[in-house]
Structure 1
Amino acid sequence: MASVVGNQGLRRPLDLAFLTAGVAAVYVGAGRLGLLRQLVVENAVVTPIWPPTGVALACLLLFGLRAWPGIVLGALLVVMSITSVQPDVIGTLVGNTAAPVCAYYLLCRVGFRTDLARLRDGVALVFLGALASMLISATAGAGCLVFTGKLAAHSFWLVWSAWWVGDAMGVLIVTPVLLLLPRAHWPPHRPRWTEAVGLTVVACALLPFVTRSSDSLLFLVYPLVIWAALRFQLAGSMLCALAASVLATVAATEETGPFARLSRIEIMIKLQAFNGAMALTALLLSAVITEQLNTRRSVQQACQELVEVLEHLAAGESPQLRAARDAQDRRDQSHSG
């Protein structure tokens, strides 16, 4: 008995260590991807989309508060890869950890479900998980830059808004995709393969075109997102939104296509408006469609059960009597076996 207790005691710290290392590794990988595309706003470098915030919140929702040491470690490693640890960096680390933890607490308080099958879950993720909670990281990051003299006071709000939108976009685009992974089924259902291939082909042709065209054609992305949401719900719409956001961010940082001949501030505003509107459309529309489909399935199931009850009553046999007889038959079969 003592050895069993000892093994259980060792297993928990070992599991926590593996979880911390795994979360930190994914956080660092997402951070490296986010740093590939940057915008300079008032001499401060910001990222239009900061995927680590989405990774951090998804890990907290999937694994609970046990994931927060991995978030801290991952944020520290990302910072150390680009600069040394300084007072403003410590404030940024605190903000990048506190923001997803706050989002986790707020979502838990409202009964958030990770399947995002209800409209209220999509609304909660948008307003509590992204827009409200990411105020903490943006305020901590931009405030520390001003406090240490690396950013002029009059530039605070512009850098703060860019920081806030970048973190919020990480939650809106990355978190839903990661929450879908544990529920993904492979291979997918065969009847949808043809349409899925068609949607993929259209997306591969349309998205590079609209994000590289000198004409303002970004609005053509919305019919694609709507198609994906109608037919494939959250999985289809968020993957389309993620691909479109990545390609639009690449075009914006290279100042090509619809972002050519614009100032840095105009590029940031146009890119963030497009990414935000597209992510909101994909998330909320798919949540509404999924909720309606679930309601229709529940109604169909209730109707089927009602039909069975009516058939039993018409046959002169009550449901309770039929259930008791079925249970007795099962007991007789088990005894005879």
Structure 2
Amino acid sequence: MAPVPLPTTTSPRDLRRLARTCGLLLAVTGVYLAAGRIGLLQQVVIGGARVTPLWPPTGIALACLLFFGLRVWPGVALGAFLVIASSGAPRWGSIGIVAGNTLAPVAAYLMLRRVGFRTELDRLRDGMALVFLGACAGMLVSATFGAGVLGLSGSLPDGGFWPTWSAWWTGDAMGVLVVTPLLLALRTARLPDDPAPVDWLEPALLLAGTAAVTLIASSTKLSVLFLVFPLLIWAALRFQLLGAAPCVAVVSVITIMAATRHAGPFADHGLVADMVMLQALNACAALTGLLLSAIVAEQQNTHQRLEQACVELAEVVRRLAPDHAGPAGWLPEEDAG
């Protein structure tokens, strides 16, 4: 007769761990859903499908995976489903869209982990990895799933697949380039021990100046949106990612609002041309802030390591010097007399 296994009991520690995991999944789901509802406020119709120029949930999903690991993917999937359900009755194709929106950040996370990505973004290789693996490569999954499902369901007109695919991909990629660095910067931010009011003056003026210049540039038909780049460079040089990421987010949000209203420099072009201009501007702004911040942070870390090495070398020399000098007044035999 085979032995009968004894029933196992769940310890309070396991219950607490399960409760924390469930709470984390619900938090990820709630944040994803809220970001999705905000993203749906700015929609455009390209290729017969409604897409968003910036889809924040992809950036939030990737950041959550980088913070907490693969265990939060069910929260991402549930959040993606709730976003679709909140905007209309789900169809059979919704499963494919949910799968694509879940697999895309998971694939990006796995690729970033494979190359040793660090969430501090203090190396140029980390910035390049986030751009090319996290945004460009990872979001191919969601765009292919989304546009493929719409094409198979007959929701796209003839010739509408590639415009929809490209708009889907750029919206998700911009979500990673704009939102993920902002969340990574906020997680690593540390307040000074004794901050003075003047310490907040420069970053506040920088953020307000970026918003003001972007508003003015997006309200006139003159093509002067390039005026935001000196402010982005200033933010990256002075405050690295913590300064550049919020400024890039401000630029992106304001220009998206102008483009969807066909205002300012976006007034005299068609929708496709407006989206090309918008995504080119936002991509250049995100790349400028992200990569320049990474370069400056890497140089600062190298300088700090060199200083530490010099201090350690000086300490070694100081400890060895008395041993070579010998007792006071003593000289080597060949130097005596």
TM-score by length of 1: 0.90
Residue 64 of structure 2 is aligned with which of 59, 64, 67?
Answer: 59
Q: Which residue number in structure 1 is paired with residue 92 of structure 2?
A: 87
What is the distance in 2 between the residues matched to 1:165 and 1:205?
26
1:168 aligns with 2:173: yes
Shift of 1:314: 2.2
What is the distance in 2 between the residues matched to 1:201 and 1:138?
35
Shift of 1:195: 2.1
CA deviation vs aligned residue, 1:167-225 (integer Å, no higher than 9, x gap): 00000110111112222223585474332233134223212111212111111111110
More helix by share: 1
What is the distance in 2 between the residues matched to 1:204 and 1:121?
27
Shift of 1:131: 0.2
Q: Which residue number in structure 2 is paired with residue 182 of structure 1?
A: 187
SS in 2 for 1:262: coil
1:101 aligns with 2:106: yes
Do the aligned partners of 2:100 and 2:143 also contact (CA within 8 Å) in 1? yes
Do the aligned partners of 1:57 and 1:104 also contact (CA within 8 Å) in 2? yes
Taking the TM superposition and a 5 Å limit, the aligned residue runs for 1:173-252 are 173-186=178-191, 190=196, 192-252=199-259
Do the aligned partners of 1:130 and 1:171 also contact (CA within 8 Å) in 2? yes
SS in 1 for 2:50: strand
Aligned pairs, number: 317
Which amino acid counterpart does residue 186 of structure 1 have in structure 2? Answer: L
Which amino acid counterpart does residue 55 of structure 1 have in structure 2? Answer: I
What is the distance in 2 between the residues matched to 1:89 and 1:59?
23
1:286 aligns with 2:260: no
Rg larger for: 2
Mark the runs of 5 or more structure 1 residues left unpaired by the alignment.
319-337
Q: Which residue number in structure 2 is paired with residue 123 of structure 1?
A: 128
Identical residues among aligned pairs (%): 52
Shift of 1:6: 1.2
Do the aligned partners of 1:39 and 1:268 also contact (CA within 8 Å) in 2? no
What is the distance in 1 between the residues matched to 2:83 and 2:23?
19
Residue 31 of structure 1 is aligned with which of 36, 41, 44?
Answer: 36
Q: CA RMSD in A?
A: 1.9
Do the aligned partners of 1:234 and 1:282 also contact (CA within 8 Å) in 2? yes
CA deviation vs aligned residue, 1:216-247 (integer Å, no higher than 9, x gap): 11111111100000000011111110000000
Per the alignment, do residues 5 and 44 of structure 1 end up closer, same or farther by CA in structure 2, a change over 3 Å counting?
Answer: closer
Residue 256 of structure 1 is aligned with which of 253, 256, 263?
Answer: 263
Which amino acid counterpart does residue 167 of structure 2 have in structure 1? Answer: A
Which amino acid counterpart does residue 64 of structure 1 have in structure 2? Answer: G
What is the distance in 1 between the residues matched to 2:80 and 2:119?
24
Which amino acid counterpart does residue 118 of structure 1 have in structure 2? Answer: R
Taking the TM superposition and a 5 Å limit, the aligned residue runs for 1:271-310 are 271-310=278-317
What is the distance in 1 between the residues matched to 2:220 and 2:240?
28
308-317 or 18-27: which moved more?
A: 308-317
Q: Which residue number in structure 1 is paired with residue 27 of structure 2?
A: 22
What is the distance in 1 between the residues matched to 2:163 and 2:192?
46
Which amino acid counterpart does residue 311 of structure 2 have in structure 1? Answer: Q
Do the aligned partners of 2:211 and 2:251 also contact (CA within 8 Å) in 1? no
Q: Which residue number in structure 1 is paired with residue 332 of structure 2?
A: none
113-122 or 193-202: which moved more?
A: 193-202
Q: Which residue number in structure 2 is paired with residue 47 of structure 1?
A: 52
Mark the runs of 5 or more structure 2 residues left unpaired by the alignment.
1-7, 326-337
Per the alignment, do residues 21 and 311 of structure 1 end up closer, same or farther by CA in structure 2, a change over 3 Å counting?
Answer: same
CA deviation vs aligned residue, 1:32-52 (integer Å, no higher than 9, x gap): 111111111122111000000
What is the distance in 1 between the residues matched to 2:283 and 2:161?
22
SS in 2 for 1:212: coil
What is the distance in 2 between the residues matched to 1:133 and 1:97?
11
Shift of 1:316: 3.0
Per the alignment, do residues 4 and 306 of structure 1 end up closer, same or farther by CA in structure 2, a change over 3 Å counting?
Answer: farther
